[in-house]
Chains A and B, each alone.
Chain A
């Protein structure tokens, strides 16, 4: 999971490697994903998200394409 300067740079990187483009997130989406995923990681009562919770998080950020399917 890499940062790129823009989606054009993602396209070029993928083309050079013969890879399909995966998912390109805006910085706002990336931050909301990271925040939702890790916000409680240091808490004593932390536990892994359930599948339902993870799907809710992804949906709340607009990540709903088949790429994001968890099951």
Chain B
């Protein structure tokens, strides 16, 4: 399989897995699912990371973020029906509901006072008592995407 085809299939698997399982997959499970070698899938993960499609755990081969999905629980829980995911940040949490095109809610906390916040998304509109703060100017978002 040529690299571009593998990258395409790996990308689709990553996001399909995140939608159905709640988080992105590992190299090993992706290799099993696609019938590919782990070294080839790891290389595909690295190419996708270089293309800013995913973010890997620093120094490791596994996914930290398949934006908007987080690989591990965060303070931005997203629920739609009986499904649950975690966003990497406030923006990504809303982005999950946009990507899966579902009504649902984001459960988070005020960054200042830690009071719980709930944002509901229904029929293409968001409601709730919240604002979103972006600390880093747009041109510098990818300087340190984990901080951003």
Binding site for B on A (CB under 8 A): 1-7, 9-10, 12-14, 19, 21-31, 33-35, 37-39, 41-42, 44, 46, 48, 58, 66-71
Q: Decide: A10 and B138 in contact? CB cutoff 8 A.
A: no
Cβ of A25 to closest chain B Cβ, rounded Å: 4
Q: Which of B77-127 contact A (CB under 8 A)?
A: 89-92, 94-101, 106, 108-113, 115, 117, 119, 121, 124-127
For the complex, what is the distance from the CA of A14 to the CA of B109, rounded to whole Å?
16
B133 x A4 contact (CB < 8 A): yes
* Chain B residue at minimal CB-CB distance from A45: B8
Contact yes or no, B117 A31, CB < 8 A: no
Which 10 A-B pairs have CB atoms at the shortest separation, nearest pair first?
A2-B111, A38-B95, A34-B94, A31-B126, A9-B112, A1-B89, A30-B132, A35-B98, A34-B95, A13-B112
* Residues from chain A with Cβ under 8 Å of B8 in the complex: 44
B148 lies within 8 A of A9 (CB): no
Seed contacts A4-B133, A37-B98, A71-B139; 15 additional CB < 8 Å A-B pairs: A2-B132, A5-B113, A5-B117, A5-B129, A24-B132, A25-B132, A27-B126, A27-B127, A27-B128, A30-B94, A34-B94, A38-B67, A38-B99, A67-B134, A69-B137
Q: How far is the CA of A48 from the CA of B113 in the complex (A)?
A: 35
Contact B121 A2 (CB under 8 A): no
10 contacts between A and B (CB under 8 A): A2-B90, A2-B132, A2-B133, A5-B130, A13-B111, A23-B133, A24-B132, A33-B91, A38-B92, A39-B99
Is B50 interfacial (CB-CB < 8 Å)? no
Q: Given A6-B131, A41-B95, A69-B138 in contact, is the A30-B90 Cβ separation under 8 Å? A: yes
Tally of contact residues, B, Cβ under 8 A: 51
CB B31 to nearest CB in A, in angstroms, measures 20
**What B residues does A38 contact at CB under 8 A?**
67-68, 92, 95-96, 98-99
Give CA–CA (A10, B127) in the complex, Å.
19
Closest to B120 in A: A27
A49 to B32, CA, bound (A): 31
A25 to B135, CA, bound (A): 11
